[in-house]
Amino acid sequence: MKIVVLKFGGSSVGSIKKIIKVAEIIKTYKKKKYNVIVVSSAMSGVTNELVKKSKGISENFSDEEYDVLVSSGEQVACSLIAGRLIHEGFKSRSWLAWQIPIVTKGLHKNSRISLINKKKILKYIGEGGIPIITGFQGIDNHQRITTVGRGGSDATAIMIAKFLNAEKCIIYTDVEGIYTTDPNKFKKAKKIKTISYEEMLEMASLGAKVMQPESIQDARLNRIDIEVKSSFSKKSGTLITKRSNIINNKMITGISSTHNDAKVSLIGVKDKPGVAASIFKPLSKKSINVDMVVQNVSPNGKETDLTFTIKKDDLNKTKKIILDNKDIKFRNLIFKKGVSKISIIGVGMVTTPGVTFRMFQALASQKINIQVISTSEIKISVLIDQRDTKKALTVLHKEFELDK
């Protein structure tokens, strides 16, 4: 049975006109003799409005009822898509996650899909039907509706592709694919034809908003190839696949940048075993994500300066936690907003010497000061002043020939 899973994001189903367009896309796959399974997000803006309503009711709105509330957006979109296909003469119906069921584990608001019962869906598509399945949601072992966190509809599509052995999983969005850097920030950004799971995971983690890291990780672990393409263009998109499927890797595949980071520096921390854990444990308990970390020990070995980055929105909370922490002593605490993290990503750098030097030299040529450095096997990140972001993207894009 030749199955294709088509996932449509909120921007793709954001209006009646767009939903009619989505129905036309679905029809093209039926004409190619595919058995089509559709997964849909809520119409753009709907989930945010529902979240806003929950906050109007209570700042401590129940997590269980939050999942019931926000999952209703997908139900609306799926009904409209199915309704349009029925109008066009196709057999179609909407499926809520609990009707299949899509079983999840974990906490409300951030569950993970553990099992999809494929029997009903296989029977329905075997009868020529087009199931329109709500993304982003599932059901737990207490028969309560759950949601699977940011990017949840992508995760739903990927796991459906896994459990139903789909031939393709295509993510439709409002962009034509994955670009070498954000095309909104840099007009010379080029669309990437093929990218590895690992590279895409790094780009998603570092701010590329096309897909969420959790969804990429699901695809990687289950070896599901994903094509990302636009609902509004017939051009080919970007294939996300395993490294061995990619021929002629460039040294650097893409460049990411962030705009919502802040730098925290503790000066003159009394250096002793466990001091770093004492600083970061309370932050972890409050779900504050610490990113780049650098530590400099004084010549006498008695003090250390510790610098790390967090999201700008967590700045006030972080300041209070550190000042209230009686387990650490330091001479000064410095916060800095207006910083940006620039990262180059590419599996090719694993076997290519001199990448770090070329990056630093390129930035130096534009008099861009590096404040913090962080590296992994396929990524080098630096923290710079936010005002230098565009200049950095331009020089690095040119240095690594990403505009060719």
Express each pLDDT in 309-363 by its tens digit: 999 989 999 999 999 998 888 999 999 999 999 999 998 887 888 999 999 999 9
User: Which of 77-91, 139-153, 238-252, 307-321 is the most confident on average?
Assistant: 77-91
Query: Residue 244: its pLDDT value, please?
Result: 77
Burial class of 311 by CB neighbour count within 10 A (0 to 12, 13 to 18, 19+): middle
* Structure tokens that stand for 226 in this block: 């994903």
Q: Is the pLDDT score of 208 beyond 70?
A: no
Residue 214: pLDDT band (50, 70, 90) is confident
Residue of 385, 310, 292, 291 lying closest to 340 (CA atoms): 385
Pairing of the two strands 238-241 and 226-230: antiparallel
Query: Per the CATH hierarchy, to which homologous superfamily does domain 257-399 belong?
Result: VC0802-like (3.30.2130.10)
Under DSSP, the state recorded for 290 is P
Query: Residue 89: its pLDDT value, please?
Result: 97
Distances (CA, A) of 84 to 21, 22, 37: 10, 9, 15
Phi-psi domain of 355 (left: phi exceeds 0; alpha: psi -120 through 50; beta: other): alpha
Query: Residue 248: its pLDDT value, please?
Result: 63
Q: Around Cβ 236, how many Cβ atoms within 10 Å?
A: 13
Share of the chain above pLDDT 70, in %: 98
Burial class of 144 by CB neighbour count within 10 A (0 to 12, 13 to 18, 19+): middle
Starting at the edge strand found earlier in the chain, the sheet holding 145-147 runs: 112-116, 102-105, 137-139, 145-147
Contacts of 314 (CB under 8 A, 6+ apart): 262, 288, 289
Terminal-residue alpha carbon distance, the chain: 40
Residue 34: pLDDT band (50, 70, 90) is very high
| CATH number for domain 3-174, candidates 3.20.20.80, 3.40.1160.10, 3.40.47.10, 3.30.56.10 | 3.40.1160.10
Compute and round to an integer the Cα radius of gyration of the chain.
Answer: 23
* Structure tokens that stand for 206 in this block: 């570092």
HSE toward the beta carbon, residue 227, CA cutoff 13 A: 15
* Structure tokens that stand for 118 in this block: 């494929």
Phi, psi dihedral angles at 252 (to 5 degrees): -115, 130
- Is the CB of residue 1 less than 8 Å from the CB of residue 33? no
Structural domain spans, the chain:
3-174, 257-399
